[in-house]
Amino acid sequence: LTTTDDPEGRKTVMSLVATASKERIFPVGRLDRNTTGLLLFTNDGEVAQKLSHPSHKNKKIYQAELDKPLTADHLAQIAAGLELEDGKAEVDDVAVVAGNPHFVGIELHVGRNRIVRRIFEHLGYDVVALDRVQYAGLTKKDLPRGKWRFLNEQEVIRLKYFM
């Protein structure tokens, strides 16, 4: 659960990084409880703002597993932008992964609530699994699920000064 505290007492992401720092750190952005993937933590409010605000156009890439194959027509509709109940959902890129239409990669820079799931649900698909694989140029490659790492110096510099 991407929150620092849960009134229902459920386990939160903070338990994953409890021993990471003596300083107060907090998650940047959110993942809903049914989404896995890359989540960034920081103790720097300015960096958090740069990463969170849509005006900075920070790219997020997700891989969605769908309950049925995505049709070419629906792929084109997603690429063109869909009108949802809270406005137009525009993606930066969308593609079938490795030729398997049950798996779709979707790239966007907006962070509206459950946007990826709602795009597919709007077209009649159930999202079986959703995984954020990249955020602001950082990937979770070689990082096991439930584990964390510190950013290296170049990654910190890029996030602080070039985003």
- What is the C-alpha radius of gyration for the chain, rounded to an integer number of angstroms? 16
Q: Which of 5, 6, 32, 92 is catalytic?
A: 32
Whether 110 is covered by a domain: the verdict is: yes
Residue 83 lies in domain: 56-135
At 22 the three-state DSSP class reads: coil
Confirm whether 6 is a catalytic residue: no
Please state whether the predicted TM-score (pTM) of the whole model is above 0.95: no
Structure tokens that stand for 106 in this block: 């979707």
Q: Supply the CATH number for residue 71's domain.
A: 3.30.2350.10
One-letter amino acid identity for 154?
Answer: Q
Whether 125 is covered by a domain: the verdict is: yes
Q: Residues 12-39: pLDDT tens digits?
A: 666 666 667 778 888 887 888 889 999 8
Whether 143 is covered by a domain: the verdict is: no
**Residue 142 CB: number of other CB atoms within 10 A?**
7
Q: Residues 56-73: pLDDT tens digits?
A: 788 999 999 999 999 999
Residue 38, CA distances (Å) to 8, 61, 76 in order: 24, 10, 27
Structure tokens that stand for 79 in this block: 């690429």
Whether 30 is covered by a domain: the verdict is: no
